[in-house]
Amino acid sequence: MLSAKSQRSLLVFLFPGCALLTLLIGWPVLESAVSSLSVSANTAGQSDTFAGIAHYKTLLSQSSFWNALWLAALFTITTTSLELVIGLAVALFLYFQRSLPRVVEILLILPMFILPVVSGLTFRYIYDPNDGPLSFIFDRLGYEPAAPLADSFWAFWSIVVQDIWRMWPFLFLIIYAGLKALPRSAQEAARMDGATTAQIIRYVLLPALRPTLGIAAGLKIMESLKVFTEVYVMTGGGPGESTSLLSLFVVKQAFHFFQVGPASAASILLLALGMSLAWTVTRMQNRPTVAGGASR
């Protein structure tokens, strides 16, 4: 049935999607690549001039760019590792206690579905020095009311806490699914031989879970790179630049300081980073060890 004619008729089906990809991803990326390499005209009639890598040099010479990159890396590493540990622990716990109703599982992962803007504002409220529940508790315990979001050290960690609350269920879901897909025979054999639960986890389950954990970590790293809204509504990147992650830096450069050239350069760098990460994650998914991988 795979005649040349029927193959050609499929091109019509591909057309709208390819048009969308070109219009909404290809063209914008090209446009910003161009503006990252040119100085835009000041007056009408004048054409843009080629600037070479001047904008990239400007960008790389800014300490706030390196600060943003460092914060993004720190945020990614801390949230990913902590959420991986929590997600794995809860997944293992539930795996050995399999009588939990589905509704409990849904309630546990509910924060994952929450709108980023609501999640951010909720934590802004919790941390609010005047009306927030945290201050209320501090007050009852006889401490000064806390204002973590106004503190350049605690603001960052308050954001990390928010992310952990919201995103560990994401890692849990992936790991739990991977765990349930493992064949039970190996553990049962180990159990027969007198292995304890701890030994089964250490020597049977964890080695078999390695590919799943890799994918989970990869996807979470991608998610960390996407984080913008939560931080924007909680601190706006402040105080100072203490929570100005890469994503906030790009938006600020472009839409607060109107530095379109350097901001385009930063967008291109972010795209390159995102694409190489995406490519790595894709490669991991293609490994034959994972059932139902992404390549088909």
Partner 1 sequence: MMDAQKRPLPSYAKAIVAFLLFVQLAPILIIIQTAFKTPRSLLESGSFSLDGWTLKNFHRIFVEQSLAPDLLNSIGIAFGSMLLSVSCGSLMAFALTRWQGPARKHLLTTLLVARLLPPVALALPLFLVLRGLGLHDTHGGLILAHTALNFPLATWILMPFMDSVPRALEEAASLDGASRAQTFLHVVLPVNKTGLVVAALFCFLMSWNDFLFSLILAGSAVKTAPLTLNGYVTGFGTEWGPLCAGACVLLLPVFALSFKLHQHMIASPTQGGVKGA
Q: Indicate whether 52 belongs to the interface with partner 1 (CB under 8 A).
A: no
Residues 127-156 within binding reach of partner 1 (CB under 8 A): 128, 130-131, 133
| Element housing 38 (H / E) | strand 38-39
Fill in the per-residue mask, 249 to 268: x = in contact with partner 1 (CB under 8 A), - = not in contact.
-xx--xx----x--xx--x-
Among 188, 199, 256, 289, binds partner 1 (CB under 8 A): 188
d(CA 24, CA 38): 22
Quick one: tokens of 14?
A: 């591909």
> At closest approach, how far in Å is the CB of 197 from partner 1?
10
CB of 282 to partner 1, least distance (A): 6
Q: Shortest Cβ distance from residue 115 to partner 1 (Å)?
A: 5
What is d(CA 7, CA 194) in angstroms, rounded to the nearest whole number?
58
Q: How far is the CB of 52 from partner 1 (least distance, A)?
A: 20
Question: Smallest distance from the beta carbon of 286 to partner 1, in angstroms?
Answer: 10
Question: What span, in angstroms and rounded, lies between the C-alpha atoms of 101 and 237?
Answer: 40
Contact 256, 247 (CB under 8 A): no
Q: Does 198 bind partner 1 (CB under 8 A)?
A: no
DSSP state of 93: H
CB of 267 to partner 1, least distance (A): 5
Kindly indicate which of the ranges 52-60, 75-83, 113-121, 147-155 contains the residues binding partner 1, using the contact rule CB under 8 A. Answer: 113-121
User: Does 123 interact with partner 1 (rule: CB under 8 A)?
Assistant: yes
Q: Does residue 113 touch partner 1 according to CB under 8 A?
A: yes
Q: Which long-range contacts (CB under 8 A, 24 or more apart) does 138-143 make?
A: none
191 binds partner 1 (CB under 8 A): yes
The DSSP bridge pattern shows strands 38-39 and 49-50 to be: antiparallel
- CA 219 to mean position of chain CA atoms: 7
Residue 41 sits in the site that holds partner 1 (CB under 8 A): no
For 50, the enclosing helix (H) or strand (E) is: strand 49-50
